[in-house]
Structure 1
Amino acid sequence: MTYHPKSEFLRVMIERGFLADCTDMQGLDEALMAGPAPAYIGFDATARSLHVGSLIQIMMLRWLQKTGHKPITLMGGGTTKVGDPSFRADERPLLDDAAIQANIDGIQRVFAAYIEYGDTPSGALMINNAEWLDQLNYIAFLRDIGRHFSVNRMLSFESVKSRLDREQSLSFLEFNYMILQAYDFLELNRRYGCILQMGGSDQWGNIVNGIDLTRRVLDHEVYGLTSPLLTTADGRKMGKSADGAVWLNADMCPPYTFWQFWRNTMDADVGRFLKLYTELPVSECDRLGALQGSEINEAKIILANEVTTLLHGAEAARAAEATAREVFEKGGVGDDLPTLELSPDEIGDGISIVQLIVKSGLAKSGKEAKRLIAENGARLDDAPLTDAGLMLDRAALEVPVKLSAGKKRHALVKIES
């Protein structure tokens, strides 16, 4: 029999497609009904920004707060020093304290767009697990915490097994990660009364470990809930585009580029993404997702506007849409395109079109830029580019020029003013 939850949060998770699995649906439902419940998601600080792949988790925290509960964003200042081996083919590069702190500073800026921090029953908390992990005494930790873990069971988790089955090395450092993540849940429960850990379905084993450890050490009942690991309709991992990761920080991915990523959503994904990444009513998401032909493009613009408004604000979304219409419908330049500004020294006696395509981010290498030109995929001010040896001098760049790669990617190039 399907369980029908009473709590608004679980109803939202199910209706909008966030729920992959839950350790005890009925128990969690009753705990949520009892009053504001603290729940957390952990984010390791492996880069200066999170990317779109993390947005499903951020939206879960947002819905948690909107339904009256207390989100905890746990920054992995301690666990980043170890590196999560889950479903990875190799070990993560190890970062020093300064690099980890710089990454945490960059990541924290995004959360404030989605959730409100403060000292209220549902005010969010920002916590760094280095607070307790950096202070651990190794022998005491092994004796008090390590004894609760069975190596046989740890080896049976899919995230570890997949690495061992491929006969790829799993360092003892990485093997400790799941113990440290389990200890995070224990500490958050002890310090803040946290009763729920959420994460992607690849975190299931780590979450279950934390639940078991908290029960054994504190005799407290806690819960786990996972979201599906998203792929786009063509099988690509969510958060990746042809140009690499789609970052959430504006200095790493301008609002126009972010908007354009959502505008380029595949038809089959529109309804699903509207439910996950916007707050439009489910019925409206279903209606928009069912549109056919050219009408689905208007649904994609709604998706792009709603998602961009949540992260960057309504003004950025309006500017991105206006630029897109200018570029695509009128053949214009648009004010909000990603812009490459060159100093006179960089131009010198002239700069090659291949260099400009690479510097503007439309190709990753000179070889890729030349191939783009050879395959008639590159344009200069909307005219096809055919000569990979073309040089532009300072006079040619006095007025901004528009570079295009394919139909959907554009950039402006101009001299610094």
Structure 2
Amino acid sequence: MTNFVEELRWRGMLQDIMPGTEEKLNEGMTSGYIGFDPTADSLHVGHLTQIMTLIHFQRAGHKPIALVGGATGMVGDPSGKSAERNLQTEKMVEHNLTELKKQLARFLKFEEAGNGAVMINNADWFKDMSLFTFIRDIGKHITVNYMMAKDSVKRRLEGDSGLSFTEFCYQLIQGYDFYYLWKHHNCLVQMGGSDQWGNIVTGTELIRRKDAGTAYAITTHLIKKSDGTKFGKTESGAVWLDAGKTSPYKFYQFWLNASDADTKMWIRIFTLKTKEEIEGLEAEHDVAPHLRILQKALAEDITVRTHSDAALETAIKTSEFLFGNGSLEFFGTLSDNQVLEIFEGIPQFNILKSELEAGLDAATLLAEKSTVFASKGEAKKLIQGGGVSVNKEKINDPQGILSTGNLLNDKFIIVQKGKKNYFLLIAE
């Protein structure tokens, strides 16, 4: 068995740990859990720190429990929030739970003998519990003074939006989750992000006061980007683990485009590489930073584990096609939807296939039938200067004819103006 806490330490993940936790874990296999609220039908990269925590927990010989909040997902956690979230319907939550189970199964070993991961839904114990039972058997053990002292509660009470009774109860509900898992599944440790510390210790306190039991807590750092912007967000929104929401190519590019400072932190947190492997990669990277050795290692590792080897291969070939010397043969392997995904956010113009059948000169196609250029004069000047490529090949004659023979997949023409400005012409 490896030392789980030490693993978190050298990776720069450990934030808070309750006294006695490390010693307890070193005694032998221990069950521990992290909660995931089903507020969407996919997890995103913001959840990866907690997923990695469970992975390391299992690799250290312990038993991970992924608690999916079928009940708490319909309430909402005030921790780190400035306003109350929209509540989910039961049907929405059930759909989200099904999808999250599929995603977590990509990262955790559920069939492992002994310390195989398990998924548990807290709706199993809350769905038939009455309010009176809850306030009589649970609420009496935690005082309002104790709950009011939590930072997450204080911030909301001092803010403009206030705090509903629903969200005020959340820490007690989460506390009971821990109590139930401790009582019925011998779960001794709860883990989570540092914003969950207050909720987690409410659970340990409930276990102590209600049954005179002992439980433990660990939290990890909340991940931030070195430039101060929010981790896991791009101009187009969250980076999802579902390939249907964020394509493997865009997922790969998210990690590939990370700054050196972020990558040196993230490669420790989001990969399973050893300390020696990471230090070796860092040494190579520092010799030739322009090769982005660290970024490639990070992007490849996490893309394979989130998606697949095949998805990584497609993402790399797509990147080479757009930014290197990738072949047009690769483009022919893509579906129309994959092409549109790759070029999402890149200017697109619809053109008539019937007009292409007769042939159009390059300047007319690029300045009149589309607006890649504002005028024919501008088009002619840049084409003659060697600054325009059509389907990855430079053109130098503004009067050169382009036709349906230039269509890729019988539908697309890729125009490149300069080194990085792409345009997609779509023939209909």
Using structure 2 for the length normalisation, give the TM-score: 0.79
Match of 1:3 in 2: none
Percent pairwise identity: 37
Q: Give yes or no for contact 2:346–2:424 (8 Å, CA) kept in 1.
A: no
Aligned: 1:284 with 2:274: no
Instruction: State the one-letter code of the partner of 2:103.
Output: V
What SS class does the counterpart of residue 107 from structure 2 fall into?
coil
Confirm whether residue 252 of structure 1 aligns to residue 254 of structure 2. Answer: no
Tell whether the 8 Å contact from 1:337 to 1:412 is kept in structure 2 after alignment. no
Alpha-carbon displacement from aligned partner over 1:227-258 (angstroms, at most 9, x marks no partner)? 10111111122211221100011121121111
Equivalent position to 1:137, from 130, 138, 152: 130
String of CA shifts for 1:351-410, please: whole Å, max 9, x gaps.
xxxxx999964189xxxxxxx999xxxx99679xxxxxxxxxx99783334489998898
Amino acid at match of 1:130: A
- Report if the CA contact (8 A) 2:317-2:326 is conserved: no
- Residue 314 of structure 1 and its aligned partner are, at CA, apart by 2.2
Q: Using the alignment, how far apart are the partners of 2:58 and 2:135 within structure 1? A: 36
Corresponding residue of 2:75 = 82
Distance 1:242 1:142, change over 3 A: same
1:105 aligns with 2:98: yes
Code of the residue aligned with 1:237 in structure 2: it is: K
SS at match of 2:187: coil
The answer to whether the aligner puts 1:179 opposite 2:175 as a matched pair is: no
Deviation at 1:41, TM superposition (A): 0.3
| Aligned residue runs from structure 1 range 186-335, under 5 A | 186-289=179-282, 291-292=285-286, 293-295=288-290, 297-330=292-325, 335=331
Q: Deviations over 1:188-233 (max 9, x none)?
A: 0111100110000000100010010011112221111001011111
Question: Which of the numbers 408, 412, 428 marks the counterpart of 1:400?
Answer: 412
Q: CA RMSD of the aligned region, Å?
A: 3.7
**Matched residue type, 1:167:** D
SS at match of 2:292: helix
- 1:40 is matched with 33
Preserved contact between residue 339 and residue 412 of structure 1 (Cα < 8 Å): no
* Shift in CA distance, 405/43, structure 1 to aligned 2, threshold 3 Å: farther
* Change over 3 Å in CA distance of 1:312–1:407 after alignment to 2: farther
Q: 2:9 aligns with which of 14, 24, 27?
A: 14
Quick one: structure 1 residues 148 and 7, their matched pair in 2 at CA, closer, same or farther if it must change by over 3 Å?
Answer: farther
Q: Please, which runs of 5 or more residues in structure 2 have no aligned partner?
A: 348-371, 375-388, 394-403
1:133 partner letter: F
How far, CA to CA, are the matches of 2:233 and 2:264 in structure 1?
19
Distance change (3 Å), C-alpha of 1:163 and 1:403? farther
Residue 322 (structure 1) shift: 2.4
SS of residue paired to 2:251 = helix
What is the alpha-carbon distance in structure 1 between the residues aligned to residue 420 and residue 239 of structure 2?
15
2:88 corresponding residue in structure 1? 95
Q: Distance in 1 between matches of 2:144 and 2:256?
A: 47
**What is the aligned partner in structure 1 of residue 384 from structure 2?**
none
Post-superposition offset of 1:330: 1.6
The correspondence for 1:163, drawn from 156, 166, 171, is 156
Conservation of the 8 A alpha-carbon contact between 2:44 and 2:241:
yes
Deviation of 1:263 (Å): 0.4
Q: Check 1:151–1:257 CA distance in 2 against 1; reply closer, same or farther (3 A cut).
A: same
2:345 pairs with 1:362:
yes
Q: How far does residue 33 in structure 1 lie from its aligned partner after superposition?
A: 2.2
Moved over 2 A (4+): 286-296, 331-342, 356-361, 379-383, 394-416
The 1:411/1:137 distance shift into structure 2, 3 A limit, reads farther
Residues 373 and 142 from structure 1, CA distance in 2 versus in 1: closer, same or farther, beyond 3 angstroms? farther
Change (3 A) 1:105 1:279: same
Aligned length: 383
SS of 2:61's equivalent in the other structure is coil
Please say if residues 340 and 412 of structure 1, whose CA atoms lie closer than 8 Å, have aligned partners that are also in contact.
no
In structure 1, what residue type is equivalent to 2:345?
Answer: L
The aligned counterpart of 1:68 is: 61
Indicate conservation of the 8 Å contact 2:71/2:126, yes or no: yes
How big is the shift at 1:413?
7.7
Unaligned runs of 5+ in 1: 1-5, 343-355, 365-371, 384-393
**SS state of the match for residue 168, structure 1?**
coil
**How far apart are the structure 2 equivalents of 1:11 and 1:119?**
23
Which amino acid is 2:311 matched to? Answer: A
1:399 aligned partner, one-letter code: K
From the superposition, tell whether residues 28 and 332 of structure 1 become closer, same or farther in structure 2 (CA, over 3 Å). Answer: same
Q: Distance in 2 between matches of 1:180 and 1:401?
A: 56
After TM superposition, the score normalised by the length of structure 1 is 0.81
